Structure 1
Amino acid sequence: MFSDLTDDILSYFLGIQHTKIEELNVEFPRVEMRESDMIFKCITKEGNTIAVHIEFQSDNDREMPYRMLRYAVEIMEKHELVPYQVVVYIGENNLNMADGVNFDFGEENFLKYRYKIIDVGEIKFNEITQTNYYELFTLLPLMDKERRKKEKELYLKECVEMIKKIPLEQERKREVAARARILAELVYEEEIIDKTFAEVIKMLNLEKSATFRRLIEEGRKEGIEEGRKEGEKEAKITIAKELLKEGMDIAKVAKVTGLSIDEIKKLLN
């Protein structure tokens, strides 16, 4: 989703002028069994080699500082590179996350760790549209939070108009529009999005976007999976109700259906 934004993020947001980027395939087996969003080996114009670690976050996570610290340790341990870390916050709610960890036990026993947080909602519309960092236009629907909330649909229309004017080849413009349309779902109702993007979808043949098709398909699969799980849960509840009517013990009902005892107790109310 964000891979094509890497150069612009490094240059515009982080101010890192780089001569070479190599993506690092870093997994964190000891950190929540997950992969980091983006990690790049970056050789700056000054000749320094660092690992740039970028995380995208759509909600406030009070444990973010500890996650980022564990990631930093894993990067240093595995690649022996100093990590430059940044969290790009793209959520609708106001940013409410700490940007580091600070423990001071006196004398020389202390820990001070920091990383950078970028709140996309605080970036002004004109700050981006007056640059040639065109890949960052993907984030326009999430920017300028105060203006966006005041102007609502009108703001989104202006975002779409700016994307239409980007002096890029059709395929790249299509990808920017596809990502912007998907990210808009974080802060706008689907009806408004469909209405606002209708013209650009037709003009750019957005259906041809690999990003758009992939993410729509992933969303469809996720919806099907959620529906399947919900159906299974309803079936278990129905069975549990019947067993309770027959006088079966709550603990046995829980064992048969896989529901928790608390869930079954609620069925008795």
Structure 2
Amino acid sequence: MAQKYDITMKNIFSDMADDIMSYFLGLQYTKIDELNIEFARVERRDSDMIFKCTIDKGNVAVHIEFQSENDGKMPYRMLRYSLEIMEKHNLIPYQIVVYIGKDNVNMVNSLSYDFGEQNTLDYRYRIINVGEIKFTEVIKTDYYDLYSLLPLMDKNRRKEEGEKYLERCVEAIKGIPLDINKKKDIAFKAEILSGIVYKREVIEKAFMEVVRMFRIEESETYKMIIEKGIEKGAQQEKIAIAKEMLSEGISIEKISKITKLSVEEIKKLIN
């Protein structure tokens, strides 16, 4: 996806991998190992998620990319990724792009040409548009890690209900039958991801009670972000993180607490 969430990408989505493969893809699988590949030939970036899994067709590499914006070059990127996976791990890649953006999906999911049987290409991967997933369908399941994505789901209902929909998502997270620490983590991720489609003041209002109730700053994801260098990182890194959090709708006070930048320093970034 775009670089907006690179800092916390794996922390936000790592716990969702099993639920995504089971619920979104309907895969019956056994996860063997996580494969960390830096796509040096492509963009010198780490993959979002790649897992070596056993499915009914044998061992495969399940490759999941998250995208918050439409990218016309996505098919070329995904094809290059697939070649890297096959070359380095000798595994057939099962590739998925999970689209979490605000706009409608207008990316294609294939590349093809045909110059006769000696020179053809027919390449495809799957795009899952989270905005098309129904709120009511997900909350009927026990795929609780997917509740972090609820604010981005059910686009039509979200548009009709506005901030009421976000409040409904918060209530669903509060009602999850899991221990408080897991709920903290899911709520924190949902709050961050809400920034893709909601304005800051709407997010703060919707999550006000749950932040106070769960003490979100104690969530494991929150702690991991700090451990990754937010607390002791260089000034430029802190500023970059603060800018991203501002765009995600997180309050200035909370950003100050996380990054250790002053409120005045953060206010100067709002332009």
Aligned twin of 2:144: 134
Aligned twin of 2:68: 58
1:123-172 alpha-carbon deviations (Å, 9 max, x no partner): 11111111110100110000000110111100000000000000111111
Unaligned runs of 5+ in 2: 1-11, 244-271
- Displacement of 1:211 in angstroms is 1.5
Contact 2:51 2:63 survives alignment (8 Å) = yes
State the 4+ residue runs in structure 1 displaced beyond 6 angstroms: none
| 1:32 lines up with 2:43 in the alignment | yes
Within-5 A mapping of 1:61-76: 61-76=71-86
Aligned twin of 1:163: 173
Aligned twin of 1:197: 207
Aligned twin of 1:20: 31
Within-5 A mapping of 1:1-269: 1-44=12-55, 46=56, 48-215=58-225, 217=230, 224-225=239-240
Alpha-carbon separation, structure 2, partners of 1:190 and 1:86: 30
Q: Report the count of equivalent residues.
A: 227
Alpha-carbon separation, structure 1, partners of 2:109 and 2:66: 14
Alpha-carbon separation, structure 1, partners of 2:201 and 2:225: 18
> In structure 2, what residue type is equivalent to 1:33?
R
Q: TM-score, structure 1 length as denominator?
A: 0.79
> In structure 2, what residue type is equivalent to 1:18?
Y
Alpha-carbon separation, structure 1, partners of 2:212 and 2:47: 35
- Displacement of 1:225 in angstroms is 4.3
Unaligned runs of 5+ in 1: 229-269
| Secondary structure of the structure 2 residue equivalent to 1:35 | coil
Greater RCO, 1 or 2 (C-alpha within 8 Å, sep 6+) = 2
Aligned twin of 2:254: none
- Displacement of 1:90 in angstroms is 0.2
Q: TM-score, structure 2 length as denominator?
A: 0.79
RMSD between superposed Cα atoms in Å = 2.2
Alpha-carbon separation, structure 2, partners of 1:81 and 1:5: 23
| Secondary structure of the structure 1 residue equivalent to 2:70 | coil
Matched-pair identity in %: 58
